[in-house]
Structure 1
Amino acid sequence: MFTLGSSRRRVAVFGAAVAVTALALSACSTDSSSNVPGGDDAADVTDVQAMLAGAPVADDALFTAGSTMEKIRERGTLIVGEALDAPLLSQQDPANPDDVAGFDAYLAQLLSVYIFGEPSVEIVPPASETREALLQNGTVDVVFNTYTITEERAEQITFAGPYFSSGLAVAVKADNDEIKGIDDLGGKTVIVGANTPAVLAVPEEQPTAELVDFATDPQAVQALLQGRGDAYVQDYTLLASNAAANSDLKVVGQPFTAEPYGIGLGFGDTEFKDFINNWLLEIQDGGQWGQAWTYSLGTVVESEIPTPPTIGSVPGS
């Protein structure tokens, strides 16, 4: 069982073949596995291996004496605050607990390649309310955890990025080829969650849409699949998770509101922030950011690879 602060995962790549080994700590298991996070499909494994093999590695000159990145490199492992139960973002494989896959998981591995030349990651699963404490007390080096950048949080920790922008998006039944996004919802019956941002956001975008609200996400998904609405508007990553679990559902288009996710760092560590932001630019230019999205969220979203948000573009970043 994973418990906060003591349960960690380590993922490392060795040799020219870029074979990825996942090691569970003694609290969970002493066995090791040679599977790459990314699923049981051989093509997925090969894709993730190729992404990691082609990822950029930081120049030695960037590891200035006494810096956080130098300390991490000397330790030999990047310690990441990251979920184990977030589908398509960072999820432990129930059939093989040594595997964690998803967009955040892949980015953490790419960052460790940037630091070490190969992935070497330990995961500490955080709760939403403990993320700041984990950074403040030095339990983790970074947090990848759908961590929305806010000015209030930026008074306690430092944010690199944003590295991804979520927000409200549109889901439809898988056989619906008419609706491609928010622009197609005029005059449609749109399912929303009661007391969610969609209640106000949809009418702002499409005043002629007829809203039907449901108390819970499972109820809203069921209503969509039963044909009681033409589309369901909810948070992008939640819709992607629903689509991953149900092949009768798909996400169309990109989010039409913005919720910027940042990488949490220790407060005031501007040198490490600059290092991380430089890495983000390199994986964006090198295509690895887009590949990580394609192998995770992109598997259930019917759209092109999104444009990464501009680094430093939101208050608090």
Structure 2
Amino acid sequence: MSKNSQPSSVAGVALTRRSFVGASLTGAAALALAACSGDGGSAPAPSGDAGTTSAATSIDTAAFASLLDAGTVADASAVEASAWAKAVKDRGRLLVGGVETSTLFSQLDDTDGKLYGFDAGLAQLLARYVLGDQAKFELTKVTSDTRESVLQNNQVDCVLATYSITDDRKKVISFAGPYYNSRQGILVAKDNADINGVEDLAGKNVAVQSGSTGPDIMTQTCPDAKQQLFKTSAEAQEALMQGRVDAYVVDRTMQESTVAKQPDDFKLVGEPFGPNDSYGIGLPLDSDGVAFVNAFLQDVEDNGSWEKLWKICIGNRTGQATAPQPPAIA
């Protein structure tokens, strides 16, 4: 996402502030989502038939829709008891801060104007939980620079955007969750048979991204690795494809997105390592919505929706068969 951009509301692909209620692009000339995300490949096929998988997002759209349809609807008394939830209910739509270019977590499919991914799924399940209809949400696009401000200015009800919980952020906003943990991952070329875990990185040329936590974690975990700093993930991936480095270490969530987009070029190896990076749902500071959204997240975990959503959005698209254990909700 670009820095210093202003938040803009998105309904489908229109950059105007209106409710995203069952948005579609009927009759529009669909642009390949690859153009937005940097993916290669042909334009996506129309979705909507049972069992269809969108080529743009490589996600089973029918399974995604079925999961949303089965989402829990909160008791009216629970909604009335929460000032945050009642405000959403009275308005008739959930205002969500998020993105539309995150391959696994929240990406816009131009064939149907809908958002797919793990964060997008949670946002729509939350809309259903409060309003009884997963389509009744409105997305305001945010960047890493605007996530706090849209909450502080009451432009959105919540932010769902792989939003890491930090002590500094908790001084100005509140978090529900965590709902997802990420750690460092190891990306190698698809035909690499020498590296199977962090212990195999000793003596190897390992790409790391400047400004990330990767270099420090690698120094602590595998001091004998030969680190090479790159400014961007794209540069590190290019070096890996060209054989200038043997592996690339960075946040595993980023690595999973890379594998989903380029499964013939890269693969993930070994177990995640390093400290947890916990994602939460951002809410206004001291909002009673924290307790309400935590109850929603607990229900999603308890009824199996979290695991199903992970498999649809992440596991099936990255070759991972076993879902991770969801984090304990604070």
Once the two structures are overlaid, the 10-residue window that deviates more, 113-122 or 182-191, is 182-191
Alpha-carbon separation, structure 1, partners of 2:226 and 2:254: 22
Deviates more, 1:250-259 or 1:115-124: 250-259
183 and 74 in structure 1: CA distance in 2 versus 1, 3 angstrom threshold: farther
**Per-residue displacement from partner, 1:78-106 (whole Å, max 9, x unpaired)?**
1100112222111222x437122111111
For 1:178 and 1:54, locate their aligned partners in 2 and report how far apart those are by CA, in whole Å.
44
- Show the counterpart of 2:129: 114
Q: Cα deviations across residues 169-219 of structure 1 (Å, max 9, x unaligned)?
A: 111222345644434434543222245422221132223333333343222
- Find the counterpart in structure 2 of residue 197 from structure 1: 213
Q: Which residue of 1 is the match for residue 318 of structure 2?
A: 300
Q: Which residue of 2 aligns with 1:30?
A: none
Moved more, 247-256 or 198-207: 247-256
Give CA deviations for 1:136-174 in whole Å, capped at 9, x if unaligned. Answer: 222111100121111221121111111112232111222
What is the DSSP-based 3-state SS (H/G/I as helix, E as strand, rest coil) of the residue aligned with 2:239? helix
Residue pair 1:149, 1:261 contacting (<8 A) in 2 also: yes
Residue 217 of structure 1 pairs with residue 218 of structure 2 = no
Alignment of 1:155-194 (within 5 A): 155-176=171-192, 179-194=195-210
- The yes-or-no answer on 1:87 pairing with 2:88 is no
| 1:169/1:234 contact within 8 Å kept | yes
Question: Which 5+ residue runs of structure 2 have no aligned equivalent?
Answer: 13-18, 26-45
SS in 2 for 1:191: strand
Distance 2:240 2:225 in 1: 15
Give, in whole Å, the separation in 2 of the partners of 1:155 and 1:284.
27
Question: Measured at CA, do residues 181 and 75 of structure 1 come closer, stay the same or move farther in structure 2, by a change above 3 Å?
Answer: farther
265, 269, 290: which one aligns with 2:307:
290
* 2:279 paired with 1:276: no
SS in structure 2 at match of 1:227: coil
Task: Give the distance between the partners of 2:113 and 2:222, measured in 1 at CA.
Answer: 45
The 8 Å contact of residues 105 and 116 in structure 2, kept in 1 or not, is answered as yes
- When residues 104 and 152 of structure 1 are mapped into structure 2, their CA distance, relative to the original with a 3 A threshold, is same
Deviation digits for residues 22-71 of structure 1, max 9, x if unmatched? 258xxxxxxxx9859x9526981221122112222212221225611122
The aligned counterpart of 1:254 is 272
For residues 81 and 177 of structure 1, what CA distance do their matches in structure 2 show? 41
- Report which stretch shifted further, 171-180 or 225-234: 171-180
Structure 2 distance, partners of 1:92, 1:129, is: 21
Would the aligned equivalents of 1:22 and 1:34 in 2 still touch at CA under 8 Å? no
1:104 to 119, 123, 139: 119
Identity %: 35
* Normalised TM-score (structure 1): 0.81
Structure 1 gaps, min length 5: 13-20, 25-32, 313-317
Tell me how far 1:280 sits from its aligned partner. Answer: 0.8
CA 56–178 in structure 1, closer or farther in 2 if over 3 Å, else same: farther
Conserved? CA contact 2:24–2:114, under 8 Å: no
Normalised to the residue count of structure 2, the TM-score between the two structures is 0.78
Residue 127 (structure 1) aligned to one of 136, 143, 164: 143
2-structure distance, mates of 1:77, 1:195: 37
Query: Which amino acid in structure 2 is aligned with residue 103 of structure 1?
Result: F
Partner of residue 264, structure 1: 282
